Structure 1
Amino acid sequence: MTADDESDRRAERVDGGSGDSVTRAAGEVQAVYDRIADHFAKTREYAWPEVEAFVDDEVDRRGLDRALDIGCGNARHAELLAEQGAAVVGVDVSRELLGAAQKRRQERGFAADFVHGDAAGLPFAANSFSQVVYVATLHHLRPAATRQRSLAAVGRVLEPGGRALVSAWSTAHDRFDRDSAFETEIEWTLPGGETVDRYYYIYDPDTFRDTLAAVPEIDCLSMRVSSGNCYAVVAPADDTESSTADSD
């Protein structure tokens, strides 16, 4: 087996699915997070260290300008971006989580706009953003073609020289005893004991890397595993500042 054959084996098999099935899957994500939004938002107070590190790197590299937070949830990362001087837009498929984001904005006094939208069909023009934070969302999308379309949209909305931080849950997490990528549902338990199933595509690091490489609209500049998640910094394809992906 050649190296290219091995890469093809690891990369996600792309089944576009019918339009109805894709729409239904997006609706399921919205329904789940609308149901758990209030409790979920209360458990998501602080920005992740990996996002803080990305923002610090971007401040040092070129400064923040127009930033997009995909799957913004309760706006914990939108707040971080705004505090560092970015003009921030947060997008989320859950209207209830957007309500939590607006409440946080009002209480904390930071500036950000919030938009209802799907990560696979970002409602923004090309070259709209200098920075994109896309964490803890990609793994909820299905099928594989939807995940790839979402990554392509990241490349489309990034301006030349822009950067995005992309993350997804990984088999490297302590809670999983698997070496290869797989699909699963994980329960969210609400106060009172009600459980709500959430869909996940759990990437192994090689599949994550190869999935990024299969999207022509982006170039992966670096990839690493941290806190059980895969993280990658990506740039628009053919960006003059791009380089071959390295693993930290």
Structure 2
Amino acid sequence: MPSPDQSAESDEPDRSRAAVRRTYEDIGDHFSKTREYAWPEVESFVDDAGGVETALDVGCGNGRHAELLAAVADTVVGLDASRALLQAATDRVGDSVALLQGDATRLPLTAGSVDLAVYVATLHHLPSRSARRASLNELARVLAPGARALVSAWSTAHDRFDADTDADAGFDTTVDWTLPGGETVPRFYHIYTPAEFERDVADSDLRLVSMELSSGNCYGVVEPEGKRT
């Protein structure tokens, strides 16, 4: 069952998107140093995609996955809300990726302009279902016909949580990040059940092509709904 700090979904001020951004401004430098390597699930997705013209990394963090995309795309855009993480990404990828500060619910890209995207470990930080749905709809809007994206979120299947993976809905929680001096900074998460993850994608403008549970995360390969025959 959820622990005492896990509550029903809420739009309380301390769980606003601005508060989440401030969290990663506070921990961004240290957080980046612990996220050196790309996730194997993302590596496999990008490797399978082949060459494309334009790729997008939503919630790019320190650029570790944008770096993968740069190997297969002519142009890569990396977007994150945190300036601290974008600075780390600049140090890592230089000018091989166009880095933008922005909001996953309002992507600063034209419709149908992206051929390949990753949206990894970011959806679960958005503090309301409406914001998460809006971000999925934005991803659908910017994907070109036939384009695909990989979306991931923490799941109740993760061994950190004593939760029912078969439940209809997940829960909100905070997970502390400990800085080198011992200060702890709470990070907001919405922990998805697999059924809820599938439902949120189904209720958006995306179509779920495939889904798997891996390393305690839901991974969904998605495409814009109605864009393929």
Q: In the alignment, which residue of structure 2 is the partner of 1:95?
A: 83
Corresponding letter in the other structure for 1:192:
G
Q: In the alignment, which residue of structure 2 is the partner of 1:175?
A: 160
Q: In 2, Cα distance between the equivalents of 1:233 and 1:67?
A: 15
Q: In the alignment, which residue of structure 2 is the partner of 1:105?
A: 93
Q: In 2, Cα distance between the equivalents of 1:48 and 1:68?
A: 16
1:51, distance to aligned residue in structure 2 (A) = 0.3
Match of 1:139 among 124, 134, 142: 124
- 2:38 aligns to what SS in structure 1? coil
Q: In 2, Cα distance between the equivalents of 1:35 and 1:87?
A: 30
* Cα deviation digits, residues 178-231 of structure 1 (max 9, x gap): 01411100000000100000000000111111111111x111111110110000
Q: In the alignment, which residue of structure 1 is the partner of 2:173?
A: 184
Q: In the alignment, which residue of structure 1 is the partner of 2:20?
A: 29
1:56, distance to aligned residue in structure 2 (A) = 1.3
User: When the two structures are aligned, how many residues end up with a matched partner?
Assistant: 218
Corresponding letter in the other structure for 2:145:
P
Runs of 4+ off more than 4 Å: 21-24
Query: Could you list the runs of 5+ residues in structure 1 that have no partner in the other structure?
Result: 1-12, 242-248
* Cα deviation digits, residues 114-145 of structure 1 (max 9, x gap): 00100111111101100110000000002110
Q: In 1, Cα distance between the equivalents of 2:14 and 2:118?
A: 24
Q: In 2, Cα distance between the equivalents of 1:128 and 1:84?
A: 16
Q: In 2, Cα distance between the equivalents of 1:169 and 1:50?
A: 14
Q: In the alignment, which residue of structure 1 is the partner of 2:102?
A: 117
Match of 2:31 among 40, 45, 49: 40
1:84, distance to aligned residue in structure 2 (A) = 2.6
Q: Is the 8 A contact 1:38 1:97 kept in 2?
A: yes
- 2:96 aligns to what SS in structure 1? coil
Residue 227, structure 1, aligned to residue 215, structure 2: yes
Corresponding letter in the other structure for 1:40:
F
**Pair 85,66 (structure 1): closer, same or farther in 2 beyond 3 Å:** closer
Corresponding letter in the other structure for 1:32:
T
- 1:126 aligns to what SS in structure 2? coil
1:239, distance to aligned residue in structure 2 (A) = 1.9
Q: Is the 8 A contact 2:15 2:188 kept in 1?
A: no
**Pair 88,121 (structure 1): closer, same or farther in 2 beyond 3 Å:** same
Q: In 1, Cα distance between the equivalents of 2:135 and 2:9?
A: 13
Query: Could you list the runs of 5+ residues in structure 2 that have no partner in the other structure?
Result: 1-7
Corresponding letter in the other structure for 1:36:
I
TM-score (normalised: structure 2)? 0.90
1:24, distance to aligned residue in structure 2 (A) = 7.2
Q: In the alignment, which residue of structure 1 is the partner of 2:197?
A: 208
TM-score (normalised: structure 1)? 0.84
Corresponding letter in the other structure for 1:101:
A
Match of 2:49 among 58, 64, 79: 58
Q: In 2, Cα distance between the equivalents of 1:174 and 1:14?
A: 21
RMSD: 1.9
Q: In the alignment, which residue of structure 1 is the partner of 2:184?
A: 195
